[in-house]
Amino acid sequence: MLEGKIAVITGGTRGIGFATVKKFLKEGATVVLFGSSDSSVSKALAKLKEDNPKYEVSGMSPDLTSLKSVQSAIDQIYKKYGKIDILVNNAGVSSSKSFYDYEEDEFDKIMGINLKGMFTASKAVVNYMKENGGGVILNTSSMVSIYGQAAGIAYPTSKFAVNGFTKSLARELGKDHIRVNAVAPGVIHTDMVDALPEDVVKYLLTTIPIGRIGEPEDIANMFAF
């Protein structure tokens, strides 16, 4: 399905991002994954190569909160492959602290990765996509962008912003054949959900009609679609 495509996937070292990298590779894409550190990137690449040594995959760890850093990584990818077809903005962080205890630094950190990180990576690829006649930008929203969340204020706020960014950018870039979409996962079995208190997970399960938490592959399939 993705033969010949060059894809960049942020937060590709674990969880939903890692499953998406794997799915894209299986579908024939060449993937560059971004992670938060060189060591997490190396670990993820080693796992993928173990799975299939033929996978066309490499990795980098730019600072997603700095356009300069992300642009330099994207420029290197463009120089190597001559195009970028797909960007998946998946990197994300959360916290479920009460608003009374919420600190300014935490707010900035979560907005920095979840919101600004999506801006920097999208900004870094759009000129290359336009030059090549189009492309696809996929953002990672969340069900909390619809319902809100009764703790951890920056996380749901950032996900409402993901929807606004996605809808607005889709309107602006459609004329250049750049499609911008978002996937809004429910509760998915990753480190992010493993970090939640057990009673919260138990409660969440009662709200899911099919009675099970989603797997990262469920979302990877959506991104591939």
Residues that bind ligand NAD (CB under 6 A): 11-17, 35-36, 40, 64, 90-94, 113, 140, 142, 185, 187-188, 190-193
The two three-digit tokens of residue 208, written as one number: 């899911």
Q: Min. distance of Cβ 22 from ligand NAD in angstroms?
A: 13
Q: Min. distance of Cβ 192 from ligand NAD in angstroms?
A: 4
Task: Round to whole Å and give the CA distance between 20 and 94.
Answer: 20
Task: Round to whole Å and give the CA distance between 63 and 11.
Answer: 11
Query: Residue 16's Cα: distance from chain center in Å?
Result: 8
Which residue out of 55, 147, 155, 203 is catalytically annotated?
155
Task: Round to whole Å and give the CA distance between 146 and 8.
Answer: 27
- 155 noted as active-site residue: yes
Nearest residue (CB) to ligand NAD, 30 versus 89: 89
Q: Among all chains, which residue has been given the structure tokens 């009675």?
A: 211
Q: Min. distance of Cβ 127 from ligand NAD in angstroms?
A: 22
Nearest residue (CB) to ligand NAD, 96 versus 132: 96
Task: Round to whole Å and give the CA distance between 121 and 91.
Answer: 11
Nearest residue (CB) to ligand NAD, 11 versus 135: 11
Q: Which residues are designated catalytic? A: 155
